[in-house]
Amino acid sequence: MKKLTAFTTAIASSLVVTLGLSGVAKAQEYEWPRLLVIATPGTQSGSFASTNGWGPVLQAETGTTIRVVPEDSEPMRFKRLTDRKDIAMASVSASEMATQTEGVGGYAATKPAAQRVLWHHNDTPWGHVVAGGSDIKTMQDIGRGGVRVTVGVFSPAIVAAMTKGLPAFLGMTPEEAEEKIIFVPASSYAENCRSVVEGKSDVAYCAPISSVLSEMEGAPGSIRWLDMDPEDKEAWDRYLDYRPISIPTRISLGVETAQGVGGLTSTFVYGVPATADVDFAYNTAKWMHQSYDAYKGSHALAARMSVELFRDFLDSTPMPVHEGTVKYLREIDMWTDADDEWNNAAIELMDSWISAREAGLKEAMEQGVDTHFENQEFLDIMAKHTEGLAPFRSRL
């Protein structure tokens, strides 16, 4: 930790010299918080590495002290952002944000809280990886029976992707999947991915931009990726029933073995509580845009934080954007009245989910029902309150 702090301080100091008085001028425009804590997935993730890339630039230009906190548990990162409030913003996938809002899986018993998108982080590609010497050659081979599939229990969204989305893509019923697929739990992202090269599992769901994948690719035997054909519309329609914010793609980022292979894009954003200060969101969005040239070279994923890529994301996202960000985007003609329509609808939908889940939790507690995500009696109460609410789904 001391080495990382010294390294970060050294970078920040050098950037002050490089950027000169421009950073001082920007710092005087807005009184930044003395400490800005940003949470990301674990230290092996691209989110952690890229945030540590642009964070020192923000620190040098504004004077705020940046602290990047790796938090591998998605539910804990959500709790720290919205309940404990010991972090100001968090890197989270748009699909995870939807899952958190809807109370899916492990989020069923979490305290409901509305969030907003502050800025685009990266359009992370994901795919299914196997060991280089595996006899599993295609996605369809998974359905032959007896195949071990890793399930990252640290993320309810990944649990849904592997236990429901994957079987659906293969045309399997839940019953068939339970009979034919052996699900192997993993407690962290790195453990999840490494499982295939350590012989603990056959198939894992990973992002090829992660440093752990570079490590795996360079190991004896290397790795391979299973093609999820973006043109197989029927398979993707079934998959999107469980991962509705995913976008089929040909992977073009990350390790060489993944290039050109069919997978999906899961966009990561920097999220904040809906109650986040408007001036903070506005000035952070402004800095993200105006200082892009200063930080885009700090990490490959930092280059994905341009306002142009953010604008592309806004054309399909169903997740609401913070009013401070909207204010800035409108000033630079990157937000229209049409955007207000879908964003207001997204806010209304999120608020409806939060209200319904709050009512469900209240009823369960009043009846003395154990509010645990594996307690069916509790889940039935929540289902009663959320019945009829539409799930968040990409606007394609």
Successive 10-residue mean pLDDT values, the chain, 396 residues: 41 41 50 97 90 97 96 93 96 92 92 97 93 97 95 90 96 92 96 97 95 95 97 92 87 94 93 97 98 96 94 91 98 97 98 98 97 95 96 82
Tally Cβ neighbours within 10 Å of residue 139. Answer: 19
Integer Cα distance of 380 and 215 in angstroms: 44
Instruction: Give the per-residue pLDDT at 249.
Output: 86
Q: What are phi and psi of 268, to 5 degrees?
A: -95, 140
Cα–Cα distance between 214 and 357 in angstroms, integer?
Answer: 41
DSSP 268-293: EEEEEETTS-HHHHHHHHHHHHHTHH
Q: What token pair was written down for 370?
A: 């154990």
Contacts of 57 (CB under 8 A, 6+ apart): 15, 291, 294, 295, 298
| Amino acid, res. 246 | S
- Cα–Cα dist 125/249, whole Å: 8
Q: What is the pTM of this model?
A: 0.73
Contact 375, 365 (CB under 8 A): no
End-to-end CA distance of the chain: 43
Q: Locate all alpha helices (DSSP H) within 85-232, ordered by sequence.
A: 94-102, 156-160, 166-169, 174-180, 189-194, 211-218
Element (H, E) at 274: none
One-character DSSP codes across 333-383 = T---HHHHHHHHHHHHHHHHHHHHHHHHHHHHHHTT----TT-HHHHHHHH
Residue 40: strand pairing partners: 70
Q: Which residues pair with 224 in a beta bridge?
A: 130
How far from 193 is each of 139, 152, 183, CA to CA, in Å?
17, 9, 14
Amino acid identity, position 193: C
The SS3 assignment for 395 reads: coil
CA 53 remoteness from chain centre: 18
CA 76 from chain centre, in angstroms, equals 14
146 torsion bin: left (phi>0), alpha (psi -120 to 50), beta (else):
left
So what's the pLDDT on residue 396? 60
Residues facing 266 on adjacent strands: 124
Q: State the Cα–Cα distance between residues 52 and 68, nearest whole angstrom.
A: 7
Take residue 211 and report the two structure tokens written for it.
């440093």
Of 183, 202, 69, nearest to 129 by C-alpha is 202
